Amino acid sequence: MGKTKQQKKALTALNYDLFRLADRCPPAPATIYTKIQQHVQRQQATVPMEAIKLSRTELPDVNRLHHMFDVYNWTYYKGKLPKVSIEFSNRMTSAGSYLPERKLIRIGRKYHEIFPDEIGDTLKHEMIHILHLKHNADFRAEAQRVGASLKAKSHPSLRKPPRYVYVCRSCGRQYPRQRRLRMASCGCCTPGREFDPRFKLKLLKSARRTTC
């Protein structure tokens, strides 16, 4: 039975709907590298880069920190940074640290309980230390490129009480220190800023380190 023009037109539209161009011409298979990039792009679409921002009521767990590391690694370094371990430290009062001999990034819990929004910034800062251990010109340039801060914020509750207090017997100026001084003289009384035994600092008091 012959088909009318209206029927032929309907069948043509149906064929185009069922067999679209994307189905008839599938894309070439992706490599592992492009698949990973696509995964990161999907993650970024779901969780925007600078909004790997966290709740002010709780910190991310270690698994989330590793996920953030992977996102930053592929975004800024094309995945070339080596894998490292990441952990929270309940003792340190600084924002973070990187231990190259252990390939370990430590995140200060006390600091980020006060500044939870800084955790992404801290992680990026410590990731730069994988490439540049010191805060030199290369580190500063890399920090500017990836948008990481050079210094952490300060807060009164993060300041450690001094373990040692020294005093100048000449002017009475006191010098609180975390480490013991061996050969040090008063900076105000010493000409030329070099050690002068006449103004050698005297230990006024010390406190034993307490363990947590």
Label residues 163-178 b or e (16+ Cβ within 10 Å = b).
Answer: bbbbbbeeeeeebeee
pLDDT above 90: residue 158? no
Which pLDDT belongs to residue 163? 83
Which pLDDT belongs to residue 190? 83
Does some domain include residue 211?
A: no
> Do 75 and 49 contact (CB within 8 A), yes or no?
yes
Which pLDDT belongs to residue 62? 95
pLDDT band at 95 (very low <50, low <70, confident <90, very high): very high
Say yes or no: 70 and 87 in one domain: yes
Domain count, the chain: 2
Distances (CA, A) of 107 to 34, 51, 124: 31, 19, 11
Say yes or no: 37 and 142 in one domain: yes
User: Which of 139, 157, 175 lies at the terminal end of a domain, its last residue?
Assistant: 157
pTM above 0.75, yes or no: no
pLDDT above 60: residue 209? no
User: What mean pLDDT is predicted for residues 90-112?
Assistant: 92
pLDDT above 60: residue 57? no
Q: Domain containing 196: what range?
A: 160-206
Which pLDDT belongs to residue 21? 44
User: What mean pLDDT is predicted for residues 185-194?
Assistant: 81
In whole angstroms, give the CA distance from residue 151 to residue 122.
Answer: 9
More confident: 128 or 169: 128
Q: For the chain, give the mean pLDDT.
A: 79
Joined together, the tokens standing for residue 175 give 């010098």
Report H helices in 85-209: 109-114, 119-131, 137-146
Say yes or no: 46 and 123 in one domain: yes
User: What mean pLDDT is predicted for residues 40-63?
Assistant: 61
Say yes or no: 134 and 70 in one domain: yes
Q: Among 4-18, 61-75, 92-106, 179-193, which stretch is predicted with the lowest mean pLDDT?
A: 4-18
User: What mean pLDDT is predicted for residues 183-200?
Assistant: 84
> Do 117 and 56 contact (CB within 8 A), yes or no?
yes
Does some domain include residue 27?
A: no
Does some domain include residue 20?
A: no
pLDDT above 70: residue 65? yes
pLDDT above 70: residue 39? no
Say yes or no: 164 and 140 in one domain: no
